[in-house]
Amino acid sequence: MDTPNVLLTGFGNVGRAFVRLMHEKRELCRKTYDLDLRLRGVFKTNGGLFAGEDSDLFGIEELSSSDCLAHSAWKTGLRCKDLFSQLKPGVLVECTPTNIHTGEPGLSYIRKALEAGWHIAAASKGALVVDFKNLKEMAKKAGVCLKYSAATAAALPTLDVGLYSLAGTEILGIEGILTGTANYILSRMEHGISFQDALKEAQARGIAEPDPSLDIDGWDTASKILLISNSVAGTDFELKDIPCEGIRNLTPADILAAREEGKSLKLVGWVIREVGSMRAEVRVAAIDQAHPLGRLAGTQKGITFYTDTMGQVTVAGGKSDPRGTAATLLKDIINIFR
Ligand SMILES: NC(=O)c1ccc[n+]([C@@H]2O[C@H](COP(=O)([O-])OP(=O)(O)OC[C@H]3O[C@@H](n4cnc5c(N)ncnc54)[C@H](OP(=O)(O)O)[C@@H]3O)[C@@H](O)[C@H]2O)c1
């Protein structure tokens, strides 16, 4: 039985859901995968909890239903970066907020973890968007896995399909509806609701963040298409290479005009092969309702790969919430230790 140490950075919606799921799926992981994950540390902005190699978890059940600040072992000022070398290397589960400009705080955590020989399962996108090539090289050099399914549309399998199911093909193009929040707003606007009202509704339902700009201005989609394309299509995009349009200025009249032509307006991330190069962009497009992506409603996401030998392959669906994201982190960890 593998008993890898787990350190968790970020204990918000996703971090907490991950701890809950680890608890819930413990027996299944033991029985089906011979895997018994040992949570050794949980870290927030100003401190954390840390158990040594020999002590067991801090009562994972108790932790999953509480805030670790209230835990008797909470230590203000405790920093994850100082602790990687104190444990046998396992997996860092990175769930801190995404900053696509600096990559921090995840970037420092991931670099430190890789230097110490830890595998990575990341939900945050920032570090990978800012320093993709370098982090991949660091992981390769250290002989560890750098997994980030949870940062690339989470429960919708994008990387697994591109890297495993389409291995040996040439990727000729990619198009993806990758931001559930934007698709939800556009779906609601199809019912005649204004952008502002649809956004307010999404925020009230916990679908949109209090600051929804990454999602509605297209940068969340741009970050995901960058990571997917660089991973499966051999590109080397940086965020500055991806022209990006959002959905802020759309009106219900725009949506209805598309509908009258049998199309739906969608926020799409594209990768397009041109003579000798690949180009990526994010823009609003009128998609035929007969296209598999044209039918996606609400928070649904989907991706179509165009290949030379396997034709057009579309995957769609997957939950867009912290539990679905936590399950994606667990999936990556299971696959690391298989
Ligand atoms: N929500 C989703 O469904 C979803 C889906 C896919 C990907 N993601 C990504 O997953 C990540 C986490 O999302 P979330 O919804 O869980 O965010 P969240 O609720 O805001 O939680 C973020 C957590 O990170 C902690 N944190 C902030 N700065 C830190 C630092 N310097 N060191 C250690 N911990 C720090 C926060 O601690 P404090 O409470 O002390 O500030 C908080 O516990 C984000 O990068 C997001 O883009 C989320």
Closest C-alpha to 295, from 277, 309, 314: 314
In this predicted structure, the answer to whether residue 58 has a pLDDT above a threshold of 70 is: no
Q: Name the residue of 7, 8, 13, 18 whose CB sits within 8 Å of the most ligand 1 atoms, as the mutation to test its pocket.
A: 13
Helices (H), 91-177: 106-115, 126-142, 159-160
Place of tokens 């039985």: 1
pLDDT for the residue numbered 79: 93
Give 153's DSSP letter. T
Residue 330 DSSP SS3? helix
Which helix (H) or strand (E) element contains residue 276?
none
What atom of ligand 1 comes closest to residue 44's alpha carbon? 34
pLDDT for the residue numbered 68: 78
76 CA distance to ligand 1 middle (Å): 18
320 CA distance to ligand 1 middle (Å): 15
What atom of ligand 1 comes closest to residue 324's alpha carbon? 3
Give 244's DSSP letter. B
Cis? peptide before 105, omega within 30° of 0 = yes
Residue nearest to atom 46 of ligand 1 (CA): 124
94 CA distance to ligand 1 middle (Å): 9
Q: 55 vs 230, which has greater pLDDT?
A: 230
Residue nearest to atom 5 of ligand 1 (CA): 325
What atom of ligand 1 comes closest to residue 322's alpha carbon? 3
- Pocket around ligand 1 at a 6 A CB cut-off: 9-15, 43-46, 95-98, 105, 123-125, 150-151, 154, 321-322, 325
In this predicted structure, the answer to whether residue 174 has a pLDDT above a threshold of 60 is: yes
Tokens representing 248 are: 């802020």
Residues 6 or more apart in contact with residue 147 via CB below 8 angstroms: 119, 120, 121, 122, 332, 333, 335, 336
* Backbone conformation region of residue 317, classed left if phi is above 0, alpha if psi is from -120 to 50, else beta: left
Which of 38-52, 235-249, 305-319 comes out lowest in average pLDDT? 38-52
pLDDT for the residue numbered 53: 79
106 CA distance to ligand 1 middle (Å): 10
Q: Which residues are catalytic?
A: 224
124 CA distance to ligand 1 middle (Å): 8
Give residue 330's identity as a one-letter amino acid code: L
CB atoms within 10 A of CB 72: 8
The pTM (predicted TM-score) of the whole model is 0.96
Give residue 310's identity as a one-letter amino acid code: M
- Assign 61 a pLDDT band (cuts: 50, 70, 90): low
- Assign 65 a pLDDT band (cuts: 50, 70, 90): low
pLDDT for the residue numbered 62: 65
User: Looking at residues 190-207, what average pLDDT do you find?
Assistant: 93
Closest C-alpha to 236, from 120, 101, 131: 131
pLDDT for the residue numbered 73: 81
CA distance 228 to 7: 25
What atom of ligand 1 comes closest to residue 154's alpha carbon? 6
On average, the pLDDT of the chain sits at 94
